[in-house]
Structure 1
Amino acid sequence: MRIGCGAIIRDAFGNWISSTSGSYGTGSAFAVEILTMELGHQHGWSVGYRNVVCCTDCPQALMVLQPRAAVDDYWAREDIARVRGLLQQDWQVMLLPIPRDKNSAADSLARHAAREGSPQCVWGQPPSSLIYFLLQDFVS
């Protein structure tokens, strides 16, 4: 089964600004979280954001991205190293947990990418299938 990643950039009020998604073949749920963080950080950097709050519903991803966390035994250690490298760029990034029920839009975008097998895509407007989930994240 293919895995997909979806990252959404929102403003300080939670409004959608931009998003990116992509399909990466196969992998674990943890690897998806790390690849999604890589994809999202690359997208945020490329569109010029230099003060970012990154939210994930995967506590383990937050743990391994801490500078002193030991990751030698992780299969995704190379992916983790790439994300850590992105975090070291000249910008401010705060990593925060988010409840799973507040992350349904990103999850929906990831499922869409996995289902379609699409290469990396940047969304200038939210896909119509995402509107419901954006609203659900906002009001739940």
Structure 2
Amino acid sequence: MDWVKANVDGAMGGSNTVAAVGGVIRDSQGDWIIDFSRSLGICSALHAELWALHDTLILAWNMKYRRVKVEIECKLAANILNRQIREMDENVVVALVHEILDREWETRVNHVYRKTNAVAEQLAKMVKGCPMGEVPPSKVAALA
């Protein structure tokens, strides 16, 4: 009952691989708590997914949630953070996320399919090319 669920996504666009991240945190009944999105600049698709996880976990931690399920459509990112793939352990973003995951709380990072992650995907796509903080949640209300 005291778990929150976050859906996150990293989005890429354009020929210069500009990336953005977005996500939503909901309570155990599925009610909207908070959303976020931000532009990352130029990075790989995997790094965008990892930054989306990072931002979500920091947000949840700062909001004092201590039981968090995170859903992401990038199976590789989920496997890296669940330590099923160890090759990227020295990567800065991976190390940052592992540091957050190792705090005194319960977290789960699960892979989900794109259809399940539509709200987070739309939040990430909306911010590409827009200044931070100008992404109205009303644009994703129909997806929620």
2:37 to 18, 21, 32: 21
**How big is the shift at 1:68?**
6.1
2:86 to 56, 67, 70: 70
**How big is the shift at 1:98?**
1.4
**Higher strand proportion:** 2
Matched with 2:70 is 54
Letter of the 1:33 counterpart: E
> How far apart, in 2, do the equivalents of 1:3 and 1:117 lie?
13
**How many aligned residue pairs are there?**
128
SS in 2 for 1:103: helix
SS in 1 for 2:50: helix
What is the TM-score of this pair, normalised by structure 1? 0.82
Matched with 2:49 is 33
The answer as to whether partners of 1:65 and 1:84 remain within 8 angstroms in 2 is yes
1:131 to 113, 138, 141: 141
> How far apart, in 1, do the equivalents of 2:83 and 2:113 lie?
23
Letter of the 1:42 counterpart: I
Matched with 2:101 is 87
- 1:106 corresponds to 2:120: yes
The answer as to whether partners of 1:56 and 1:62 remain within 8 angstroms in 2 is yes
Contiguous gaps of at least 5 residues in structure 1: 135-140
Spell out structure 1 runs of 4+ moving beyond 3 A. none
Bigger relative contact order, structure 1 or 2 (CA pairs below 8 A, ≥6 apart): 1
Letter of the 2:92 counterpart: E
- Aligned-residue CA RMSD (Å): 2.2
**Percent of counterpart pairs with the same letter?**
25
The answer as to whether partners of 2:82 and 2:109 remain within 8 angstroms in 1 is no
**Higher helix proportion:** 1
After superposition, give the CA deviation of every residue in 1:48-78 in whole Å (9 maximum; x if it has no partner): 1000111111110111112463234x8x911
**How big is the shift at 1:115?**
2.8
The answer as to whether partners of 2:73 and 2:113 remain within 8 angstroms in 1 is yes
SS in 1 for 2:128: helix
